[in-house]
Amino acid sequence: MTSRGTARSRRTSAGPPDLDVDALLTDRGTRIIVCCGAGGVGKTTTAAALALRAAEGGRSVVVLTIDPARRLAQAMGLDQLDNTPRQVAGIAAGKGGRLDAMMLDMKRTFDEIVQSHSTPERSQQILANPFYQALSSSFAGTQEYMAMERLGQLRAQADREGTWDLIVVDTPPSRSALDFLDAPARLGSFLDGRFIKLLLAPAKVGGRAYLKVFSTGVSLVTGTLTKVLGAQVLSDISTFVAALDTMFGGFRERADVTYRLLQQKGTSFIVVATPEPDALREASYFVDRLASEQMPLAGLVLNRVHNVAAPLSAERALAAAETLAEHKEHPLTAQLLRLHAERAKVMAREQSMTTRFTATHPHVPRAQVAALAQDVHDLPSLRRVGRDLARR
């Protein structure tokens, strides 16, 4: 992480090193970029802007978005959620690049895994199971698991067909930004665990006779579950688990493969935040977590950073505005000075916030995107974000 950081960045006299976004995007060794961070910090926009810039720089890119704003999705031609990458029209392809974009459909991804791993009859049976239907559409973590699954699929397709040389991934708006790292492992350990074997028991042994075969501990657990959940829910789960049994190896293996993919050299994580306490706290956790998982961090993207366009301190601007107000003259200038003072104060607050982050993580390269007066929902504004990201 650090060797990468220094290779791609230039240390300024004070503060963190700059994140050299263009070096990252043009390096053919960069195969996967994962954008992660707290909810509402602009992960999707950052992912889309990076993907567009890479494509216009000559790379063949696919961007996997999770839940884009409607107009941003439309700008990329994603009018429907169909789980398939579609080519984005209107990009500057002068350097031979292309951009495909897709939106994750988690239920469909799950269905497809089931279908590709079992016979038609068996997959019918699974897809119709009420427990499966609930799991595939509402289990906390399914979205994270499926995002990782889809990433693995895209990578396999890229390797097989040579379609894309860069995959940019947005991560789900999770309860915690870390969920997408944990969910696959959690599902994996569940599928491997004792509990699943317990659930499988009734279906395998048949009837209630299994209770005698197993220890009293087991009967206590199943008895309790029956009490709490009701026998019918338990039997739905049991049938479902039995039906999935054949696929479990596949699930776990793939979760492991994707996890290792994230640790590889061609992968770069970009942690996205805004200069607000919550977002920076999440970013901080994330940086630590990536380091402990040995996942390669490219740097921090700070979105919606306020700056000033006029060279004047907040204090002097306010004093000048007050002078004018006292003399009851030049109200326009007085208002412009007040506006400036407000912005300068916001900037100062944000700077003190990011300084704390820098103090904890002095070596994490950083790029900033200025707060825009307008929302980002077309290719020109995505380009502008990309330019901002690449400015050093």
CB nearer to another protein: pick between 92 and 220: 220
Q: How far is the CB of 157 from another protein (least distance, A)?
A: 28
266 and 332 in contact (C-beta within 8 Å)? no
Position among 98, 124, 195, 235 found at the interface with another protein (CB under 8 A)? 195
State the sign of the Cα–Cα–Cα–Cα dihedral 209, 215, 218, 222: positive
CB nearer to another protein: pick between 23 and 196: 196
Q: Per CB under 8 A, which of residues 126..165 are in contact with another protein?
A: 130-131, 134-135, 138-141
Q: Interface with another protein includes 185 (CB under 8 A)? A: no
Q: Interface with another protein includes 175 (CB under 8 A)? A: yes
- List all residues 6 or more positions away from 271 whose beta carbon is below 8 Å from its beta carbon: 36, 37, 283, 286, 287, 290, 297, 299, 300, 301, 364
Q: How far is the CB of 387 from another protein (least distance, A)?
A: 17
Q: Per CB under 8 A, which of residues 232..291 are in contact with another protein?
A: 232-233, 236-237, 274, 276-279
Strand (E) or helix (H) holding 271: strand 267-273
Query: HSE (CB half, 13 Å, CA atoms) of 387?
Result: 7
146 and 169 in contact (C-beta within 8 Å)? no
What is the rounded CA–CA span in Å between residue 17 and residue 13?
9
177 and 171 in contact (C-beta within 8 Å)? yes
CB nearer to another protein: pick between 6 and 138: 138
Strand (E) or helix (H) holding 298: strand 297-305
CB nearer to another protein: pick between 25 and 38: 38
Q: How far is the CB of 36 from another protein (least distance, A)?
A: 13
Position among 23, 127, 211, 221 found at the interface with another protein (CB under 8 A)? 221
Q: Interface with another protein includes 380 (CB under 8 A)? A: no
Considering only the stretches 81-89, 202-210, 249-257, 325-333, report the one whose residues sit in contact with another protein under the rule CB under 8 A: 325-333
Q: Interface with another protein includes 209 (CB under 8 A)? A: no
Q: CB atoms < 10 A from the CB of 199, how many? A: 20
